Structure 1
Amino acid sequence: MDDLKVGLIGWGSSATTFHAPLIRATPGLQLAAVATRSPTSAAAAVRAACGDAVTVQSAEALIADGRLDLIVVATPNDSHHALADAALRAGRHVVVDKPFALDTSQARSLVARAGEVDRLLCVFHNRRWDGDFMTLRSLLDRGVLGRPVEFVSHFDRYRPQVRDRWREHAGAGNGLWFDLGPHLLDQTLQLFGAPAAITLDLALQRDGALTDDWFCCHLRWEGGPHDGLRARLQAGMLAAEAGPRFLVHGHAGSLRIDGLDPQESALKRGADPADPGWGQESTRRGRWWLGDGPPDSVPLLAGAYPSFYAGMRDAIRGLGPLPVALDAALAVQALLDAGRRSVAARAELRLA
């Protein structure tokens, strides 16, 4: 089959770290065009990273480019809806970086648009392919820890200086809840399904912070296989000593995994996702306790970020499902919205 031609809108950190290298490493996909706000000034950097065959143009020109099969929207969050809608209207399949949109209404309108024009729409929840998360999911599926009663997930960083980047400015869709919240929520939903209630606390902790740079989200479940389960999802920018990436307590034992999946740092170093051994862990291992026995180490599965675009390629060709189903993406967006309502009410919010 001919390669599917891909256009990438945006040339910020998400596009350069994740989307461009992953697209280029996926057999059957060809990164053909990149759109930036300043095509002329960005052209040299784009071509140095992606090759001379990649055209650099405006977003409007890229969306109108009839060569393209798939358009990826990797721009500031407040532009996701308009750009994705325009790309769908132009007859392209679309991937939107997380978060899906600014609110559930926008997200649902994009789902409706994709149905109207009979094109595929997907959200880039790449953290499903973190090796530590894949390991945890496998152990829970096997029932090794028994029925889970408590789940903790941290995504902590130490970045004490507020940087001049859109994510850290005041504005719709900015802040840490919209940046890292989608990752933690999506992983939690994949493990345990929809919770019955949410409580969110946001804070501006750093000197000069313009938007939330810390959050703590509590979820609880009622009824079903996870009745009584409690979860705490937390992220911050002043954590010189990070909390556990994952901690699970169950009726039969506990599991703890520290540190972060190495794929992001490897991509930032310029490593090729197509290289053999991609995503394999060399230093981190989990620890589990079964009953009251001593801890034992748990090897971590290799991470697999390339699986997302391989899945998207296959879905476009009619060979498989979307790598992230739209109902799952909508569920994450609904929890992002519910969390903000919880903050406004300063109370737990029960969910439908």
Structure 2
Amino acid sequence: MMINAAIVAYGLSGRVFHAPFLHTHPKFNLTKVVERNKEESVKRYPYVDIVRSIDELLTDEMLDLVVITSPNTTHYEFAKQALEAGKHVVIEKPFTVTSQEAKELGRLADKKGKILSVYQNRRWDGDFLTVKHIVKNKMLGDLVDFESHFDRFQPLQADQWREKNLPGSGVLYDLGAHLIDQTIDLFGLPHSLTAEIKSQREKAEVDDFFDIRLHYRTHTATLKSSMIVKTLGPRFVLHGTKGSYKKYGIDPQEELLDSGEFPDSPAYKKAIESDQWGQIETEWNGMAIKGKIQNVYGNYTSYYDDIYQAIKENKKPIVTADQAYKTIWLIEQMQKSSEEKRTIFLEGID
């Protein structure tokens, strides 16, 4: 069974995070790309057909999967059109710009019997998979503190839609969606949260900094991001009753894909395996452990492996619409916390 797939928009997301995987995966045919004015995709994938609108795209009865990588403000409408046309849908994060839109899309997908998933590729970052292994196996004892950072140094605001004053723009919807999804995957929903969200850069139109505290019964999860961090700190820091773990550096897959590497190339695999290892110091299974710990191997191809199985077997994907809805709902609670300068106790999610 081969799945015919199309990408809606060929910007950074479509070019870097989706086309390379649909091109190399043996179970997918990348057949069409929606580009309103340009013809960039055929320079690398000369076999694809370019169409100029999603309306034109959805007339293709042979199309199985629509991958939406257009600006965030279009996610809801384009996904709704694709689902109503009987297509499976993958949406680049963030899912939607409101939790109400997210809920409606989830219900529509269920009604139509179609797969709806959000591209949370960073669940397959090697360092996150390593953190997940450490937490699951209680290698640090009982966890008491968790920190996740995703910082960059971009002191000047870029001239792109992500940094315009539009719904769903800003670093919280962008990088924050990844950190929130990873944390929910690890620990579930917190009982309360405290958030500071603001703009640090002069003349910034959107938020470019957040400091989020997710409060759990046994520990606090701190999520931070800023666009003005010249000297990067650790990506992850975990402390438990038996030990600690610290990891520097961002998973290399985005950089590799942006440079033109395909995910099935030897260079891609080698770079993943050579990603900077974290440092651990702990007592585990009666042994004192101190030193580097090898990353669990992660590859974003695994996301599309799962989407294939979900479509083939008509089962829920690993990244579900309900999980993605919770991420957007949490973002709304974080905005409320920051605006009102208080801790929000979470209740009423359905």
Q: Which TM-score tier does this pair reach, normalised by the shorter chain?
A: over 0.9
* TM-score, structure 1 normalization: 0.93
Aligned residue runs from structure 1 range 137-286, under 5 A: 137-221=132-216, 227-276=217-266, 278=269, 280-286=272-278
Please state if 1:87 is matched with 2:82: yes
- Pairwise CA distance, 1:283: 4.6
Match of 1:335 in 2: 330
Corresponding residue of 1:224? none
2:226 partner amino acid: G
2:281 alignment partner, one of 283, 286, 289 = 289
Deviation at 1:63, TM superposition (A): 2.2
Moved more, 56-65 or 102-111: 56-65
What secondary structure, in the 3-state scheme, does the structure 2 residue paired with 1:24 have?
Answer: helix
For each residue in 1:40-66, what CA deviation from the matched residue of structure 2 results, as whole angstroms up to 9, or x when unmatched?
A: xx12x2101222333333222112222
Match of 1:108 in 2: 103
Note the residue ranges of structure 1 that are not aligned, 5 or more in a row. Answer: 222-226
Compare 25-34 and 294-303 and name the one that shifted more.
294-303
Would you say how many aligned residue pairs link Structure 1 and Structure 2?
A: 342
Q: Deviations over 1:78-126 (max 9, x none)?
A: 1100000000000100011111111111000001111121111111111
Unaligned runs of 5+ in 2: none
Identity value in percent: 35
1:198 is displaced (CA, Å) by: 1.1
* Shift in Å, 1:35: 0.7
| Other structure's SS at 1:183 match | helix
- Once superposed, what is the RMSD of the aligned Cα atoms? 1.6
CA contact (8 A) 1:203 1:213 kept: yes
Q: CA deviation at 1:319?
A: 6.8
Task: Calculate the TM-score normalised by the size of structure 2.
Answer: 0.94
Distance (Å, rounded) in 1 between the aligned partners of 2:12 and 2:48: 22
Alpha carbons 2:143, 2:218 under 8 Å: kept: no
- C-alpha displacement of 1:320: 5.3
CA distance in 2, matches of 1:314, 1:5: 14
Say whether 1:54 aligns with 2:46: no
| Contact preservation (8 Å) 1:311, 1:321 | no
Residue 294 of structure 1 deviates from its aligned partner by: 7.9
| 8 A Cα contact 1:46 1:56, kept in partner | no
Query: Offset at 1:36?
Result: 2.1
Label 1:115 to 1:144 Cα distance change in 2 as closer, same or farther (>3 A): same
CA shift for structure 1 position 14 = 0.8
Worse-matched range after superposition: 67-76 or 321-330: 321-330
| Paired residue type of 1:282 | S
Asked if residue 28 in structure 1 is aligned to residue 27 in structure 2, the reply is yes
